[in-house]
Amino acid sequence: YGAAEPKVFKPEFKDYQAVYNEIAKLLQEHDEYDDGSYGPVLVRLAWHASGTYDKESGTGGSNGATMRFAPESQHGANAGLINARNFLEPVKAKFPWISYSDLWILGGVCSIQEMMGPKIPYRPGRADRDMSSCTPDGRLPDASQGPRHVRDIFYRMGFNDQEIVALAGAHALGRCHTQNSGFDGPWTFSPTVLTNDYYKLLLGSKWQWRKWDGPKQYEDKETKTLMMLPADMAFIEDKEFKKTVEKYAADNDVFFKDFSAVIVKLFELGVPYTEKSETFVFKNSDE
Ligand code: DDH
């Protein structure tokens, strides 16, 4: 008696903001990567951590960070994401109280905001799991396929057609790498800034098959520097998808609003929140 209760560190908003600030600082410092930013690959890590979710069994999702382990780290779809995981290691070392699973999602949230995207409200509460929670291969989309496959994959997570198209706008960011997926090139001319350009280019450019030794992909006829995957083309081949593409191509504000809502849903799939879970909206580094 009389002894103080052992102190449990309960992180608050300011603590998560400090993690955000550290990631934002490292993003600025490490402009040697790819098109000048680790932002896109960090977004992809957050998405692949979350997109394994299966609503029927409740397995997969961002809770667990099981991509730290083989076999999940070795799944073909996750090739190259080691760069994102390694980028975040010094952040984990500086803030050991945050789980990998919360950190990876915070990396995605920070990257989207720092790449001039909308605010992404963030709720911590993910706990790391061991390798027995690794998901089976094949839960993430196959880029060589069309509308039917895209629907199968995203309906399994619990998304509707409008939400699927809103999520795909993330391809305004980053690029394909032959050493990862076999595909090659960026989708837009400004792959480190989030805009609705993905939709504008899908509709506004002429797309033709690229003639090369790699997997079947499209190139824009005019500059031959941009690309689309067969799975991207699904969004204009399918009438229902195309309506939403047109909506987002016409209005960046509408895209931002819907993108923010749907990415929050993606990042929270399968996370066991309680009523007490708080939501945080982070300040950008230039605010
Ligand atoms: Fe994606 N994506 N993605 N994607 N994705 C690739 C890169 C990036 C598909 C395939 C690929 C989403 C949906 C789909 C990002 C975010 C998101 C690459 C190239 C392939 C292939 C990887 C490489 O070679 O390095 C397919 C198929 C789909 C689909 O919808 C059917 C979604 C939903 C998101 C999201 O974030 C919400 C980002 C960012 C990249 C760029 C990564 C980088 O390193 O740059």
Return the closest-CA partner of residue 38 out of 98, 86, 73, 78: 86
Q: Is 48 a catalytic residue?
A: yes
CA distance 281 to 156: 29
Q: Give the per-residue pLDDT at 133.
A: 96
**Does the beta carbon of 143 sit less than 6 angstroms from any atom of ligand 1?**
yes
**Does the beta carbon of 150 sit less than 6 angstroms from any atom of ligand 1?**
yes
- How far is ligand 1, taken at its centre, from the CA of residue 123, in Å? 23
CA distances from 153 to 23, 147, 158, 247 (A): 31, 10, 9, 23
Q: Give the per-residue pLDDT at 2.
A: 62
Q: Give the per-residue pLDDT at 287.
A: 94
Task: Choose the catalytic residue: 47, 48, 104, 171.
Answer: 48
Task: Please identify, by atom number, the ligand 1 atom nearest to the C-alpha of residue 182.
Answer: 24
Q: Give the per-residue pLDDT at 5.
A: 72
- How far is ligand 1, taken at its centre, from the CA of residue 45, in Å? 10
All domains of the chain, ordered by start, with CATH? Answer: 13-139 (1.10.520.10), 147-262 (1.10.420.10)
Q: Give the per-residue pLDDT at 1.
A: 59
- How far is ligand 1, taken at its centre, from the CA of residue 179, in Å? 14
ipTM greater than 0.90: yes
Residue pointed to by tokens 């070795």: 74
**Does the beta carbon of 228 sit less than 6 angstroms from any atom of ligand 1?**
no
Q: Give the per-residue pLDDT at 13.
A: 97
Per-residue pLDDT of the chain (287 residues; tens, 9 = 90+): 566 777 788 999 999 999 999 999 999 999 999 999 999 999 999 999 999 999 999 999 999 999 999 999 999 999 999 999 999 999 999 999 999 999 999 999 999 999 999 999 999 999 999 999 999 999 999 999 999 999 999 999 999 999 999 999 999 999 999 999 999 999 999 999 999 999 999 999 999 999 999 999 999 999 999 999 999 999 999 999 999 999 999 999 999 999 999 999 999 999 999 988 999 999 999 99
Q: Give the per-residue pLDDT at 148.
A: 98
- How far is ligand 1, taken at its centre, from the CA of residue 12, in Å? 32
